[in-house]
Structure 1
Amino acid sequence: MDFHGIDLNLLVAFDALASERNVTRAATRVGVSQPAMSAALSRLRTLLGDPLFLRSANGLLPTQRARDLAGPVAAALRQIESAMMSKPAFDPANAVLTFNLGLPDYPSFVLLPTLLSALEVQAPGVTLNVHAVNGRDAAIELLDSGVIDAAISVPAAEEDGRIKARPLLRDEFVTVLASDHPAARAGLDLPAYLELQHVLVSPEGHLYGLVDRALAEQGLKRRLALTLPHMFAVPPIIAQTRMTSTILKRAALHAQASHQLAILPPPLALPEIVFDLMWHRRSDTHAAQSWLRDLLAAQAATVDASSGTRAIRR
């Protein structure tokens, strides 16, 4: 028998008829009308080539074929119901699986150490496979295709129904100079800032960034000497040149060249930067992925809580 295209609701109707031995009561049990239940019985008879239930003074009497089917069909329906209603638990301590994360340079640097430390303790059998993503569009493409389970990126300008998100990490901008730079000692106001050559971090390769937009609102422009895709390449360059760069605070504080830098407040108003945790709607209720998202949020909260442990050097 070919079951392709068969309405499995017919099995629910059969189970009700086998239990109730009455079309009206079976219809009530299933929540359909009596004519709908009669139609289901007619379809079952055609499908199975057997009358299944015969009318009698005591209600419907099952044929031998119906009696043979009643137990297996009831058991199958209970198993399907159990599978559909249960929410599988996720046991991180005993899990052996791989999570795929889409991460730009910045969250990889600031979040992976504490995340891996937590995984060693809570889920030693879990492997992380990190995919480099440059920008939100690239992250969404990988989420859509199922290549990654979650990503971290800047928030979207508009909400997208298929992609879910929650704020994860926050940071602020600082301006960095070599510690022996004359401007670091004299104080960096906006005119002095504009006299310097600047390094722009742009993962997408743009020649115009957030600082440039803020300056343009005042009718001002800076001089770019270098653009880079990776923020954490900036501190050693700044430490050995007379250039400057405006980057996120953690990238400056945790760089190996940090002790060679003057880390200053930017001489213009810049917004706080938020990174979102993103995932696809299809994995929203998946137990393992939900656990991973909660772990990421917990570790990010730890990182945010410790972000002020070192003061900006003026």
Structure 2
Amino acid sequence: MDLHRIDLNLLIAFDALMTERSVTRAGIRIGRSQPAMSAALARLRALIGDDLFLRAPHGLQPTPRAIDLAEPLAQALAQIERALGTERVFDPATATTAISLGISDHPGFLMLPRLLDRLRHDAPGMALHVRDIAARDDAIAMLDAGTVDIAVGVPPTATGGGRILHQPLFRERFVCVLRKDHPAAQSPLDLTAFLALSHLLVSPEGDQFGQVDAALARRGLKRHLALTLPHMYAAPLLVARSDLIATLMEGVVMASGHADALVMLPPPLDLPAVPFVMSWHRRNDTHPGQHWLRGRIAALGDAGRDHGD
């Protein structure tokens, strides 16, 4: 391809479209009108010889060719900015950046109210689009596709190679919970008493084999699962109104509003604390607005570390 035909502004427009998946939001991101962005997309399609973005129910869907181009072009733009010393300065007080955040249930419950308070105070013009991360490995696919800019949840089982970056936020230890007047709540919980009870398992991904079951299986043991449900914040209330026992993250119990009706006991098994991390794609590492927001999220994570350390 003849490089003389390439307008650097087209690459900036492509990067914005890849991130925002909307002509309007991409234009806001880089300070262009919607007609100008539509014209840039038409020129990009002619230059690359590919549709690049197709309309879908929830915004623009990148083609495989666009996905292949996204990371190397983002890295090239970042290198150009660094070489010219013209990296954009982000002023949260005046920014109108739109950022997509993928977050799982528990950190969303703990962090989103405080994050929104911070944005309202420091960055009132910033728009935050929140998407649910139900399964831990969805995060990498969403970051790769640009569906989200930042993901918060338990670490994915795959690292994402060098293209996905991670930062630890906080850890949650496990506790066993019973209703306060449960007969088993009146004495220390040993393994025999634990196995004699009917259990509730929280499994957002629909599995019927959690960390407790894995720890028991290593001893050749099994527990009686009476109830499996995907919503962790429903579990404390259900335990408070039943004879069930549940092994939950301590932060879930404390934030549920039902801790006063429950007894929390140490599990009779060695269960490692659950880590929660923030992840983002390397192509967005130097984006000023995202870098600022990641700093705010990291500060909230630091404030929540006391549940696991």
- TM-score above 0.5: yes
Which residue is equivalent to 1:285? 286
- In the TM superposition, 1:203-222 aligns within 5 A as 203-222=204-223
Aligned 8 A contact 1:135 1:154 in 2: no
Deviation at 1:95, TM superposition (A): 1.1
Which residue is equivalent to 1:272? 273
Stretch moving more, 239-248 or 104-113 = 104-113
1:187 maps onto 2:178 in alignment: no
1:5 maps onto 2:2 in alignment: yes
How many pairs are equivalent? 234
Which residue is equivalent to 1:103? 103
Aligned 8 A contact 1:97 1:126 in 2: yes
Alignment partners' CA distance in 2, 1:232 and 1:126: 29
Deviation at 1:121, TM superposition (A): 1.6
Alignment partners' CA distance in 2, 1:299 and 1:120: 15
Letter aligned with residue 252 of structure 1: V
Is the partner of 1:296 in helix, strand or coil?
Answer: helix
Please list the CA deviations of residues 245-295 of structure 1 after superposition, one character each: whole Å capped at 9, or x if unmatched.
Answer: 101001001212111111111111100111111101110111111111111
Structure 1 residues 207 and 125: alpha-carbon distance in aligned structure 2, compared to 1, 3 A threshold: same
Which residue is equivalent to 1:115? 115
Question: Looking at CA atoms only, which structure, 1 or 2, has the larger radius of gyration?
Answer: 1
- In the TM superposition, 1:48-63 aligns within 5 A as none
Which residue is equivalent to 1:301? 302
Alignment partners' CA distance in 1, 2:212 and 2:84: 52
Alignment partners' CA distance in 2, 1:118 and 1:108: 15
Which residue is equivalent to 1:235? 236
Please list the CA deviations of residues 5-44 of structure 1 after superposition, one character each: whole Å capped at 9, or x if unmatched.
Answer: 24589xxxxxxxxxxxxxxxxxxxxxxxxxxxxxxxxxxx
Aligned 8 A contact 2:233 2:256 in 1: yes
| Root mean square deviation, CA, Å | 2.1
1:125 maps onto 2:125 in alignment: yes
Alignment partners' CA distance in 2, 1:241 and 1:7: 72
Alignment partners' CA distance in 1, 2:116 and 2:81: 38
Deviation at 1:304, TM superposition (A): 2.0
Aligned 8 A contact 1:107 1:152 in 2: yes
- In the TM superposition, 1:50-89 aligns within 5 A as 84-89=84-89
Deviation at 1:86, TM superposition (A): 0.8
Structure 1 residues 5 and 234: alpha-carbon distance in aligned structure 2, compared to 1, 3 A threshold: same
Which residue is equivalent to 1:42? none
Deviation at 1:182, TM superposition (A): 0.6
Query: After the TM superposition, which segments of 4 or more aligned residues of structure 1 sit over 4 Å from their partners?
Result: 6-9, 80-84
Stretch moving more, 148-157 or 163-172 = 148-157
Which residue is equivalent to 2:250? 249
Deviation at 1:196, TM superposition (A): 0.8
Deviation at 1:303, TM superposition (A): 2.1
Structure 1 residues 273 and 8: alpha-carbon distance in aligned structure 2, compared to 1, 3 A threshold: same
Letter aligned with residue 204 of structure 2: P
Greater relative contact order structure (CA < 8 Å, 6+ sep): 2
Which residue is equivalent to 1:139? 139
Deviation at 1:128, TM superposition (A): 1.9
Letter aligned with residue 203 of structure 1: P
Alignment partners' CA distance in 1, 2:5 and 2:86: 20
Letter aligned with residue 2 of structure 2: G
Is the partner of 2:304 in helix, strand or coil?
Answer: helix
Aligned 8 A contact 1:149 1:289 in 2: yes
Alignment partners' CA distance in 2, 1:143 and 1:157: 15
Deviation at 1:208, TM superposition (A): 0.3
Deviation at 1:242, TM superposition (A): 0.2
Alignment partners' CA distance in 1, 2:167 and 2:225: 34
Structure 1 residues 114 and 6: alpha-carbon distance in aligned structure 2, compared to 1, 3 A threshold: closer
Deviation at 1:168, TM superposition (A): 1.1
Alignment partners' CA distance in 2, 1:268 and 1:131: 34
Deviation at 1:85, TM superposition (A): 3.0
Aligned 8 A contact 1:173 1:270 in 2: yes
Structure 1 residues 83 and 269: alpha-carbon distance in aligned structure 2, compared to 1, 3 A threshold: closer
Gap regions ≥5 residues in structure 1: 10-79, 309-314
Letter aligned with residue 188 of structure 1: L
Aligned 8 A contact 1:135 1:153 in 2: no
Aligned 8 A contact 1:176 1:238 in 2: yes
